[in-house]
Amino acid sequence: MKIAIISDTHGSITAFNRAMEVAGPCDFIVHAGDILYHGPRNPLPEGYKPQELANAINALDVPFVAAAGNCDAPIDQALLSVPIQAPYAMLYIENFKILVNHGHDASLEELIELCRKWKVNLLVTGHTHVKQLEKKDDLILLNPGSCSLPKDSIASMAILEDSNIRLVNLENGQTLESISVKL
């Protein structure tokens, strides 16, 4: 099982294509929100072509699971053939539970509490454009960073494969951090 995990593409077909190239063939693509629109406070990302990005997502031959971000609007759903779930998207892979939430409406502490209540193994958030991979007891916290507008200077994504989650630098494909998981 291989899952590509991205966030905050903000309409950049260039960033999306690079993430898909780095990920290679996968079984799922998970997006933690802010898919098509760049947002009024953000600059236009390189390759800003939301219609082209929507077409690329619609043409995928693997499941695309997305949680709504603060820049996602009802009109975005009109362009996409896959649902943008709000405020949460949940994936079950055998006994492994993944909760996806953009992270703009709830504090990290509130999301962690919800994960503990629901016995979630992996919490995926976005919004900050800053990558994070951390283990807190039995919960893994993951923010894949932004593949289009990183605030920590490195465009990134995450890949969950076999028993490993790794943050990946999109410029060179190198692993930045990794954590073992029990699937």
Q: What is the pLDDT of residues 47-60, one digit of tens each?
A: 999 999 999 999 99
Alpha-helix runs per DSSP H in the chain: 13-23, 50-58, 74-79, 108-118
Q: Which residues of 15-29 are buried (b: 16+ CB within 10 A; e: fewer)?
A: bbebbbebbeebebb
**Of all residues in the chain, what percent carry a pLDDT higher than 70?**
100
Q: How many residues does the structure list for the chain?
A: 183
Q: Which tens digit of pLDDT belongs to each residue from 70-111?
A: 999 999 999 999 999 999 999 998 889 999 999 999 999 999
Q: What is the pLDDT of residue 182?
A: 83
| C-alpha angle 69-74-76 in degrees, rounded to nearest 5 | 75
> How does residue 183 score in pLDDT terms, banded at 50, 70 and 90?
confident
Domain coverage including residue 90: 2-180
Mean pLDDT taken over the chain: 96
| CA gap 48, 112 in Å, rounded | 33
Query: CB of 30 within 8 A of CB of 98?
Result: yes
Q: How far is CA 168 from the centre of its chain?
A: 12
What CATH number does residue 86 fall under? 3.60.21.10
Q: How far is CA 82 from CA 55, 59, 76, 113, 160, in A?
A: 11, 10, 10, 29, 21
The structure's pTM equals 0.96
Q: Which residues contact 112 (CB under 8 A, 6 or more apart)?
A: 123, 136, 139, 141
Does position 172 have pLDDT exceeding 90, yes or no? yes
Number of domains in the chain: 1
58, 114, 118 from 146: Cα distances, Å: 21, 24, 27
The widest CA-to-CA distance across the chain, in whole angstroms, is: 41
Confidence (pLDDT) at 161: 95
